[in-house]
Chains A and B, each alone.
Chain A
Amino acid sequence: MNFFTIVLRGLLRRPVRTGLTLVGISIGIAAVVALVGISRGFETSWETGMKTRGTDVVVSNMGSALTPKPFSASVRDRITPLPHVAEACSLLVDLISIEDAEMMIVSAREWGGFTWKNLKLVSGRLPNDEKEPAVVLGKTAAEMLKKKVGDPIQIEAAEMSVVGIVDGGAVVENGSVILSLPLFQEVSDNQGKINIIDVRVTPGTTKEQVTKLCEQITSLVPEARAIVAGEHIRDSQAYRMIRAMSWGTSLLAVLVGVLGVMNTMLMTVFERTQEICVLLAVGWRRRRIVRMILMESAMLGFFGGVGGVLIGVIGVRLLEHTPAIRGLLEPDLNARLLATSVAIAVVVGVFSGLYPAWRSSRLTPSQALHG
């Protein structure tokens, strides 16, 4: 028997209460894992999508909506002459309901632009020209819409046909309905409007030069901002709100966990007053009692954290396949997030045990003789 055994027995003394406390912490930590993982997934999925398209700089106006605000398509022509700009491609991206799918990414791209080039055909072909009423579907989008090459597809009021299924190399690309820019401008009543310009810089452009280019574009185009690809999502008010809500909700869930552990440990100290006094009477130092209580609460936190990570990961994996999320983002459940979540749980455990531990240290051994 070692000190760890003593700590463990303390927890197993009331298995139902310990179990319920663990469930409480687990739910809190699962919320952290799921919400933060999803919000980070949103960021990384879009970032990966940008990288796959070969985009270095994104020109857009990320307001408070999930998609950028439209601006004039003529902006593109003011950008292309700037130094270090190799190519620019106009896009009109929106999240709309298509047939039975509640929210799909529609990515309308300038015909012939570089953003078409990363698409690898899985079946069918690309549209013949920008006028052909045709779309290609990312492979996930095709599964979600249950479409194959040759099927008709309703985009807003227009009927088009699916001419190809593509692998875009990223979750966002594979979850998109891709068509030519003029077609979508017309069906969405956004003639002459775009909301994103993907810019590719010339090879050999340094990071400082890219940053300077962004500043130049932003000053040249007051209706939009140029941001290094990937960072534009972080710049979005909507994303910031999602992230803040994720952490806010997680914090509340963790707070519930703190109260749960504190309650359990206080009950433990109250219930075990006699026992703690006996330990003091047989020569245990107060600091050993404090350590025992803190280790018990830390272990509650640790096991709750591990349980929470498991529940969170399983929950997110299940959510990933729901129509609301599928094809829009890939939750980012990296090892750092999972380790941080367990660490948060352990800190929560130790923090929650501080007051009960202090209470236990105030007990006097003479109480052991009573009762």
Chain B
Amino acid sequence: MKKEYDDGQVQALRGADFQIREGEYVAIIGQSGSGKSTLLQLLGALDHPSSGKLMYRGQSLAEMPDLAAYRAKEIGFIFQAFHLLPTFTAMENVQIPMFETGRSAADRKSRAIELLKSVGLEHRLNHFPSKLSGGERQRVAIARSLANGASVLLADEPTGNLDSENATLILELLHRLRQERNFTLVLVTHDMGIAERASRTIQMKDGHIISDIGKEHA
């Protein structure tokens, strides 16, 4: 895949060719401007590649009639800045993605409670984001990303806005949830320490993949 902006003046992704297996834990590392966030956007169908093809379970994303449905049902996003909706409680934020899946209001609510319990926030259900700590906000965001039972979680610097203690807790939570729910985790970071927890590390530089290393232990 390649991704260009401004009629080719900016080449964010100059060539990426790789495959991710279901259930894998992949860390994408690289300096700022290396193309790792662009790659994450393409994987999550937030943007289209300028050339090349992205396949999900054998089907080209370009041929999918409804990319919103792909994002809603298959992909979960975790952002560095959490991006919770400030006027909604933790429980309501988790329900937001479920509006596209036809669940009833009661079902949405019980699912949100179950997910918030799974991230240890059962005591913060009705708290607004402004009343939550950074770590708690990110846990709500993780619960939101799992709302529709995503098979792939895409995390963009999920610990970037957290102190080291909370960062460790979030990474452990993601690790535990991945083992419990068996989703594929693709995590973008510039922190080698975080990348070491992944089963595979893709290193990027200037829009190219310069290394792709799998580990036995992770």
Q: Is the CB of B83 within 8 A of A1?
A: no
Q: Is the CB of B108 within 8 A of A283?
A: no
Q: Whole-angstrom distance between the alpha carbons of A234 and B38 in the complex?
A: 69
What per-residue 1/0 map shows which CB atoms of A137-157 lie under 8 Å from chain B? 000000000000000000000
Q: Is the CB of B68 within 8 A of A9?
A: no
B156 within 8 Å of A (CB atoms): yes
Q: Is the CB of B105 within 8 A of A283?
A: no
Minimum CB–CB distance from B126 to chain A (whole Å) comes to 11
Provided the pairs A275-B85, A279-B96 are in contact, do residues A366 and B71 lie with their beta carbons within 8 angstroms?
A: no
Interface stretch of the complex, out of A49-57, A197-205, A284-292, A331-339:
A284-292
- Residues of A with C-beta under 8 A to B25: none
Q: Is the CB of A365 within 8 A of B46?
A: yes
Q: Whole-angstrom distance between the alpha carbons of A169 and B52 in the complex?
A: 85
Q: Is the CB of B47 within 8 A of A282?
A: no
Select from chain A the residue with minimum beta-carbon distance to B75. A283
Q: Whole-angstrom distance between the alpha carbons of A41 and B109 in the complex?
A: 53
- Residues of B with C-beta under 8 A to A281: 44, 46, 71, 77
- Residues of A with C-beta under 8 A to B37: 369
A128 within 8 Å of B (CB atoms): no
Minimum CB–CB distance from A218 to chain B (whole Å) comes to 67
Q: Is the CB of A282 within 8 A of B87?
A: no
- Residues of B with C-beta under 8 A to A3: 99
Within B19-58, which residues are at the interface with A (CB < 8 Å)? 37, 40-41, 44, 46-47
Select from chain B the residue with minimum beta-carbon distance to A1. B92
A18 within 8 Å of B (CB atoms): no
Q: Is the CB of A282 within 8 A of B144?
A: yes
B183 within 8 Å of A (CB atoms): no
Q: Whole-angstrom distance between the alpha carbons of A283 and B148 in the complex?
A: 10
Q: Whole-angstrom distance between the alpha carbons of A10 and B87 in the complex?
A: 8
Within A79-113, which residues are at the interface with B (CB < 8 Å)? none
Q: Whole-angstrom distance between the alpha carbons of A280 and B147 in the complex?
A: 15
Interface centre among A3, A12, A284, A371 (most CB of B within 10 A): A284
Minimum CB–CB distance from A34 to chain B (whole Å) comes to 36
Select from chain B the residue with minimum beta-carbon distance to A5. B92
Q: Whole-angstrom distance between the alpha carbons of A284 and B47 in the complex?
A: 15
Q: Whole-angstrom distance between the alpha carbons of A365 and B81 in the complex?
A: 15
Minimum CB–CB distance from A295 to chain B (whole Å) comes to 13
Select from chain B the residue with minimum beta-carbon distance to A281. B77
Give me 28 A-to-B residue pairs in the complex whose CB atoms sit less than 8 angstroms apart, sorted by A's number: A1-B88, A1-B91, A1-B92, A1-B105, A3-B99, A9-B87, A13-B87, A274-B83, A278-B83, A281-B46, A282-B71, A282-B97, A282-B147, A283-B73, A283-B100, A284-B72, A284-B96, A284-B97, A284-B100, A285-B66, A288-B99, A364-B47, A366-B41, A366-B47, A368-B46, A368-B77, A369-B46, A369-B156
**Other 20 A-B pairs with CB < 8 A, given A1-B109, A274-B83:** A1-B88, A9-B87, A12-B87, A13-B86, A13-B87, A275-B83, A279-B96, A280-B71, A282-B71, A282-B77, A282-B97, A282-B145, A283-B71, A283-B73, A283-B75, A284-B96, A285-B100, A366-B47, A369-B79, A371-B81
Interface residues of A (CB under 8 A from B): 1-3, 5-6, 9-10, 12-13, 274-275, 278-286, 288, 364-366, 368-369, 371
